[in-house]
Amino acid sequence: MSSKSRSKRKPDQFDFVDKGVNDSDSSESEESVYSGLEEEPDTSEEDQEQSSNQSDNDSSDNDDDEDITLDDKSGLELSTEQRKELSTASDDELNEINDQRYTGNVKSQNRKQQKQITVKTADRPDEYDYDSSDEEDIRNTVGNIPLEWYREYPHIGYDIEGNRLLKPEKGDQLDEFLNKMDNPNYWRTVTNKMTGQNVVLSKEDLGLIQNLQSSKHPDSMAENYQSSKHPDSMAENYQPWIDFFTHEKMIHPVTNHPQHKRSFIPSKWEKLKVGQMVHALKMGWMKPTKAKTEEEEEENFYMLWKEDEESEITRRYRAHLPAPKMPLPSHAESYNPPPEYLLTKEEEEKWQNMEPEERRMNFLPQKYPSLRLVPAYKRFINERFERCLDLYLCPRKPKIRMNINPEDLIPKLPKPRDLQPFPTAQAIVYRGHSDIVRTISVDPTGQWLVSGSDDGSVRFWEVSTGRCMKSITMETGSLGNMCIRSVAWNPHPDVSLVAIAMGQTVILVNPGLGDKMVTNNTDNVLHSFSPTEEESMGKKVYADWSSIDTSDKRFENGFRLLLQHPKEVSQVTWHGRGDYFASVMPKGDSMSVLIHQLSRRRSQNPFNKSKGMVQCVLFHPVRPFLFVATQRYVRVYNLLKQELSKKLMTNCKWVSSMAVHSGGDNIIIGSYDCRLSWFDLDVSTKPYQTLRHHKRAVRAVNYHRKYPLFASASDDGTVIVCHGMVYNDLLKNPLIVPVKILKGHAISHDLGVLDCVFHPSQPWVFSCGADTTIRLFT
């Protein structure tokens, strides 16, 4: 609370009331209070009392925890009494009354009131006569400390000179009691803790306390005046308001000075200045500032979050790039290097003759017996300079290192053992051939296996036991080439025929195995064929069909039909329905692919132009498409429309083999450059996935008809089985997981496994190789 505000207000002292106030006592003792006060002014130690009172007031301002309890009823009575009194008295009278009434112990208040009154009269006493500030009046200088600390001592603190303030003598309980009984002011007597003095509260103090307690204006006078609508009441409590500078516009000036003369005369210097500027404008020295266009004004954006940005300097500190470190000195730079680091004479000469830039080391290693003998370093300045050059050219750019876990880059593939069944172990070895087994094929029921070998024999095997049931040795042809290049079992279950490509001929053999009915039917159908002359007349004959007579010795072996080709046949393949088959003559140029129809014994040449050396052909399993693999491309022809429908870019150097998925939308291609490429025909003409698991040329690839498996055979002697799941959902890519490497074939003449075929119904794979064996992996 500032002294100024305090001076404006009525004194706001409120002092402690003894806790032991008695209700019944208070009402009775009202009259006696006044009489007692008037008649028996307590004059003892007036000054000290005053000061203590003052300090008491001050301390009470801060001291909120003092419990002030005053009975409501007594307080009310008191206030009404006051009102009565006050309503009758005028201001001055009241002051006088007050002066008279509060003689000793509340002298300070009187003074203040006097002060207030004197504001009006402008008869100011010396301001510094009485110091009203809070702190300076404290007699006890111990400060704001808990006074319990002085409980043990006879004094209660120190005055400003450092003398002890002795505690006033306190009587014992009996004195207390007597005091309580005798002293009519006992109930309004409190102890100032700072001084230990007893203070008798004035009536005004009591009223103040009561007003505070009943949430009224602390100054009971103000309230009373308000209630009585006394005209001068406000002047009593508040200073009158003088509105010097008002917001209202006044017509008269505040000051009364007359205007100066110069305010009526135009300025000479201004005129000069303007003249200069006009001249400058005329001369073109000065140009009028352009009026801002609207656009410019509109572009007055500002960065809303600019405060968030790091300032340039802090950013530079934070992203501090340390200069690259100097390499640590090596052994050769030691003053006493091991002898092997020292250069020999020749080396030293060579070093000397070299250009400084070419030298591996820019110093000569030198040996000193002790550190004392090491001379000053001659190259120090050079080195520092070079370092500076290095740093000058050093790119100060942070290296952003990508923290990528290598394992995250590997696609998540299921574990092979979750993808069973697939062939895992070799089960049966089919032995009997005496030379490279080039080609194998399984009959559609899965009971028989046919194999063609370089020894000129075709063997038929029982799959389950490995028994060779039949062996057909080809007679030496006109060319003397007995290699069986390709065998293919007719996929139709009601036809028992095997196509064998040997030299320039394709032989259709009825193996006579399996159901006898089927065998006989096949023979009967072949026998009952009668050629229709008209058709064969006009057209060019591409292949020469000839049937084997029943009397022929070869008929016994199962030979039924011979197709003589103009060039060597490398592959035969059946259409899924078993009526058509295609033969490949890689050197046949425009006739490299021939399609033969069994039922009409007719051959067609679907292509009249050679597109390259044909490696292999395949029929689409369901649609009339023909896949033709040349060295680098696979072309898909629509046989009905007779047009090229797709051309697959294999990205490999030399296609060796090809297989089509039973659904017909996916094909795999093996190549001599060790690759296996999976094509999704619906998606792209580029490989969907390329597997490079084989170490040497891939010789054959094959799909399983039922299980999601495909296999590739390679010259490295292994067959790799992969899980290749094709989903019906077109959006889902095929899942390709390599599951097993099947080893078993020995490599001979740099040839490993030459063909691999899946069992039609079981997850088994057959492979044949250059080691003359056929192996079954289950």
Partner 1 sequence: MMADENTPHVQAKFFTKQSQYSIPDTPYSVPAAVGTSELSSLINQILKGSDDSVDAGIEFDFLLDGEFLRVPLDKHLENRGVSSEDIVEIEFVERQPAPKPEDSLLHDDWVSCLQGCKECILSGSYDNTVRIWTTTGAPLLTIPGHSAPVKCVKWLSGDGGPTCRFISGSHDQTILIWEWHREENSVECVHACRGHAGSVDCIAINEERDKFVSGSWDKMLKLWSAAAVAEGDQEEQLEAPTKKQKISKKVQTRVPVLTLSGHTEGISAAEWLSRSEVCTASWDHTLRLWDMEKATQTSQMQGTKVFLDMSYSLLNRQIVTASADRHLRLWDPRTTDGAIVKCTYTSHNGWVSSVSWSPVNQYLFISGSYDTVMKLWDTRSPKAPLYNMSGHEEKILAVDWSIPSLLLSGAADNHLKVFQYNDEKHGT
Name the residues that contact partner 1, by CB under 8 A: 421, 425, 427-428, 445-447, 464-467, 469, 514-517, 761-762, 778
Closest to partner 1 by CB, 206 vs 742, is 742
Closest to partner 1 by CB, 428 vs 594, is 428
Identity at 7, one-letter amino acid code = S
- Minimum CB separation of residue 740 from partner 1 in Å reads 14
Closest to partner 1 by CB, 416 vs 612, is 416
What's the gap between Cα 563 and its chain centre?
A: 69
* Structure-block tokens of residue 524: 């009967």
Closest to partner 1 by CB, 110 vs 445, is 445
Closest to partner 1 by CB, 493 vs 738, is 493
| CA dist., res. 82 & res. 210, Å (int) | 12
Asked if 754 and 438 touch (Cβ cutoff 8 Å), the reply is: yes
- Minimum CB separation of residue 766 from partner 1 in Å reads 14
State the Cα angle at 615 between 613 and 618, rounded to 5°: 130
| CA dist., res. 470 & res. 476, Å (int) | 19
- Minimum CB separation of residue 653 from partner 1 in Å reads 40
Closest to partner 1 by CB, 365 vs 763, is 763
Go through the chain and tell me how many residues it has. Answer: 778
Burial class (CB in 10 A: 0-12, 13-18, 19+), 246: exposed
The SS3 of residue 570 is: coil
Closest to partner 1 by CB, 183 vs 778, is 778
- Minimum CB separation of residue 739 from partner 1 in Å reads 16
Q: What backbone torsions phi and psi does residue 467 show, to the nearest 5 degrees?
A: -85, 130
Closest to partner 1 by CB, 514 vs 576, is 514
- Minimum CB separation of residue 540 from partner 1 in Å reads 43
Task: Print burial letters for 146-182: b (CB count within 10 Å at least 16), e (below 16).
Answer: eeeebeeeeebbeeeeeeebebeeeeeeeeeeeeeee
- Minimum CB separation of residue 514 from partner 1 in Å reads 7
Closest to partner 1 by CB, 507 vs 774, is 774
Q: Which residues 6+ apart lie within 8 Å of 449 measured at CB? A: 430, 440, 441, 442, 443, 460, 461, 462, 463, 766, 774
The SS3 of residue 486 is: strand
- Minimum CB separation of residue 466 from partner 1 in Å reads 7
* H-helix or E-strand spanning residue 774: strand 774-777
Closest to partner 1 by CB, 447 vs 564, is 447
Burial class (CB in 10 A: 0-12, 13-18, 19+), 329: exposed
- Minimum CB separation of residue 778 from partner 1 in Å reads 6
- Minimum CB separation of residue 737 from partner 1 in Å reads 20
Q: DSSP per residue over 509-557, as a string?
A: E----S-HHHHHHHHHHHHT----HHHHHHSPP-SEEEEPPTTSHHHHH
* Structure-block tokens of residue 301: 């954006």
- Minimum CB separation of residue 416 from partner 1 in Å reads 16
